[in-house]
Amino acid sequence: MKKLIIFFLCACCVMAACTETSEGFLESKGKETDDLESVLSDSAKVMGFHAALFWQVGRLTMSPRTSSTSTLSNYKDYEAGTDNSRYSGYFRVTEFTPAYTKGDFSQGGTNAGFTDFRTAWVEAYQTIYRCNSFLQNYKRTPLCAATQERLAYEARFVRAFFYFYLLRQYGGIPLLYDEIIDPFNPLYLERSSFEECVNYLAQELRATADGLPLEQMGADYGRPTKASALGVLAELYALAASPLHNGGNIGSGDNRLLVGYEDYDVNRWRNVVITAKELMDLGTHELVKDNQTRPGNGFYLATTKRVNSERVWFWLTVNSTAFPSNELLPKSRNGKCNIQPYHELIEAFPMKDGRPINKESSAYKENPYADRDPRLGYTVIYNGAKWVKTKGGKQEEVWTYKNASQDGYGVNGGTRTGYYFRKCANETLMGNDNGEGVGLSFIRYSDIMLLYAEALTELDVNQNREEIEKQLFEIRDRAGIDAGDDERYGVPANMGKDEMIDFIINERRIEFANECGNRFWDLKRRKLYEKLDGVWTSAAVWEKADNGSFSWSVQPIEQHFFSQKMYFSAIPQREINASHGKLIQNPGW
């Protein structure tokens, strides 16, 4: 076992030296030849080992597959497995996104043997193992006691975050607690129930919230804070309270309690309200608002500025990378356009007055992008939208119409949907220009506000209506939507519970489009994926006439398939086979 510990310590040190997310506290270095005692006796090496615990955070939680490719090229996977967008590359069912869209996980000859299921499982447990290794040894280091304890709380947070990731993907999973047990010897490991996992993680996140600082500044910016722990706890409680687990359990027999609760309990939503309100009352976070520069500029800043008041828990890149611009922008702007939005996402955004679009109106038919929610323009590039052609230079039109040079629909390397994403990209930079290392946010303050509103709706929409609408009004005001004479920002009055939930989930869809797979997880926890089975998603195909005028039409391009078993990824078949009956498979696999 000591050899195993040394191996993982050394691996962590190597990761700290080569990670693409090295910035500030992540710049610590280590050597592959260091053994356990050498690491523990050297403060710099200890800090390098600890910094490496954060390395896998961005890689795994934005994509289920990380081996052989970096997060920077595959963070698209969860988002492109939804009705928001598609992966622009070859549609091979050997990759997670097309497999999820087509409902085909036959790679390897057996569904539960799908490679990405095992990759996600193994790499998450590797990080949990490393966290436990640090927690068992941190008091032996030469660091002062205060630093030791702070790093220990951070390690506990990272461990809890990875358990949370596993829980929402696989349901109840084996809990190692504080033990250094080889996670790749499943003979000795059994899955804990969903309820046991929630209770354990809630306890851990509560403890870390009490031990972490309110702010991490300077070189420590990007480390978890009290709000980070409360944010993940709110997400955990929302997962537990949502229909997939709370009263809508799809399991049966031995696996029933592994994937949810036995019965519905509305009070599980109360935990979301309490935790979200506690975070909101900290006073450390708020919406970024700026409608003076231009409508909705605060939304743009919240998704493109490295340091801002909305970032609750996030993943940073170094300022020597062009991410995410290099992944999103069109070819003419030196981007790879690896993920592209469907027209259905564009339709989800309201008008500038906050009211839904009217697809039958002559104004919409002529120009579907005019007078829309400003967030749409900060999220996608459509035909005729502008982007710089040199760093900091003049903005010029991007043409996505059929057969347009470089970026057009139907052109090799062009758009397949009529659109490109620009969300989280700095609009002054080309796809190959280095930025300030913004990375992506797992949780923004608006996420907490909307979870709070959702939970209040589930508890009693009529009793909580004023507080629910307050959250919606604030988010839409920040978005740059017109308040209107009634000052409701297009939010319908007197919505019932189901109408309000639908409204909030759509607001989440447009607020967090192309951010860390939020749509993917919302569709799962709310049991909305089954409504997409057999549904076609579309492209907006613009055509240019000889006289220079444009016309457009909607063309179906992708049919989605979903079966109930896909609400939970399969426990990797190799783990099942090796456990001799200890690990129970998920429903349907």
Q: Identify whether 465 is part of a domain.
A: no
Number of domains present in the structure of the chain = 2
User: What are the tens digits of pLDDT across the range 463-522?
Assistant: 999 999 999 999 999 999 999 999 999 999 999 999 999 999 999 999 999 998 899 999
Q: Identify whether 462 is part of a domain.
A: no
Q: At what angle do helices 145-170 and 43-51 cross, to 10 degrees?
A: 20
**Prediction pTM value:** 0.93
Residue 384: pLDDT over 80: yes
Question: What is residue 112's predicted lDDT score, i.e. its pLDDT?
Answer: 79
Residue 32: pLDDT over 50: no
Residues 100, 194 within the same domain? yes
Residues 276, 200 within the same domain? yes
Q: What are the angstrom distances between the C-alpha of 211 and each of 73, 125, 176, 215, 498?
A: 35, 24, 21, 12, 39
Q: Identify whether 509 is part of a domain.
A: no
Residues 57, 129 within the same domain? yes
Q: Identify whether 557 is part of a domain.
A: no
Q: Identify whether 171 is part of a domain.
A: yes
Higher pLDDT, 6 or 326: 326
The whole domain housing 39 covers 2-284+568-578
β-strand partners of 539: 555
Q: Identify whether 18 is part of a domain.
A: yes
Judged by DSSP in three states, 381 sits in: strand
Structure tokens at 230: 């409360």
CB 357 within 8 A of CB 348: no
Q: What is the mean pLDDT of residues 137-147?
A: 96
Residues 341, 253 within the same domain? no
Question: What is residue 21's predicted lDDT score, i.e. its pLDDT?
Answer: 37
Q: Identify whether 155 is part of a domain.
A: yes
For residue 52, the domain's CATH number is 1.25.40.390
Q: Identify whether 545 is part of a domain.
A: no
Question: What is residue 589's predicted lDDT score, i.e. its pLDDT?
Answer: 93
Residues 269, 341 within the same domain? no
Residues 364, 252 within the same domain? no
Domain boundary among 431, 465, 485: 431
Residue 1: pLDDT over 60: no
Question: What is residue 240's predicted lDDT score, i.e. its pLDDT?
Answer: 98
Higher pLDDT, 105 or 557: 557
User: What are the tens digits of pLDDT across the range 332-376?
Assistant: 999 999 999 999 999 999 999 999 999 999 999 999 999 999 999
User: What are the tens digits of pLDDT across the range 249-293?
Assistant: 999 999 999 999 999 999 999 999 999 999 999 999 999 999 999
Residues 268, 333 within the same domain? no
Which element (helix H / strand E) includes 395? Answer: strand 395-397
Residues 234, 347 within the same domain? no
State how far the Cα of 435 lies from the Cα of 305, in Å rounded to an integer.
10
Residues 30, 166 within the same domain? yes
Residues 396, 329 within the same domain? yes
Residues 103, 205 within the same domain? yes
Question: What is residue 6's predicted lDDT score, i.e. its pLDDT?
Answer: 34
Domain boundary among 409, 431, 453: 431
Q: Among the listed ranges 179-188, 323-332, 412-421, which one has the minimum average pLDDT value?
A: 179-188
Question: What is residue 61's predicted lDDT score, i.e. its pLDDT?
Answer: 65
Q: Among the listed ranges 307-311, 314-318, 375-379, 447-451, which one has the minimum average pLDDT value?
A: 314-318
